[in-house]
Amino acid sequence: MKKTVLLFLFLLPFSFSIAQMIQGTVVNDAEQKIPNVSIYIDGTKIGTTSKEDGSFSLNLPSKNIGNIIFQKEDYETFATPVSEVLNKKLKVFLLKTNTIEEVTIIPFTEEAYKNHIRYFLNTFIGSDQENVKIKNQRSLKFAYDKKNKILKVKAPKTLIIENKNLGYEIEYNLISFSADFNSNMVNYTGTSFFKETKNSNKVKLNRMNAYDGSMLHFFRSIYNNTISEDKFIVNHVVQIPNPKYPTSEELNILKNFKEMARTSKTLLKIPEEISDISHRKNSQKPYALAITKTMIPDSDYVKRDGKNVLFSFKDMLQVNYSKYYYELKGKQFIKTTIPVVISSYLHPEGETFEVSKDGNISTPDLLIAEGDFTKNKIENMLPLDYQLGD
The rounded distance, in Å, linking the Cα atoms of 21 and 24 is 10
Partnered with residue 188 across adjacent β-strands are: 177
- Nearest of 339, 296, 336, 341 to residue 316 by alpha carbon: 296
Cα–Cα dist 34/97, whole Å: 14
Do strands 21-27 and 89-93 pair parallel, antiparallel, or not at all (unpaired)? Answer: parallel
User: What is the pLDDT at residue 153?
Assistant: 96
Residue 54 and residue 82: Cα distance in Å, rounded? 19
Q: For the chain, give every domain's residue range.
A: 9-99, 104-198, 200-242+287-390, 243-284
In the chain, which stretches have pLDDT less than 70?
1-19, 62-65, 98-104
How far is CA 91 from its chain centroid? 28
Distance CA 381, CA 22 (A): 26
Measured in degrees and rounded to the nearest 5, phi and psi for residue 373 equal -60, -30
Q: What is the pLDDT of residues 248-293, one digit of tens each?
A: 999 999 988 888 887 877 777 888 999 999 999 888 888 888 999 9
At the topology level, CATH places domain 9-99 in Immunoglobulin-like (2.60.40)
3-state secondary structure of 3: coil
SS3 track for 311-348:
EECCCEEEEEEEECCEEEECCEEEECCCCEEEEEEEEC
How far CA 224 is from CA of 51, 316, 346, 389, in Å, comes to 38, 22, 19, 18
pLDDT of the residue at 114? 96
- pLDDT score recorded for residue 88: 85
Give the model's pLDDT for residue 7.
Answer: 46
CA 240 to chain centre: 27
Residues 58 and 153: their CA atoms lie apart, in Å, by 32
pLDDT value, residue 363:
82
pLDDT (tens digit, 9 = 90+) per residue, 65-106?
678 999 998 898 999 988 888 888 899 999 988 655 556 688
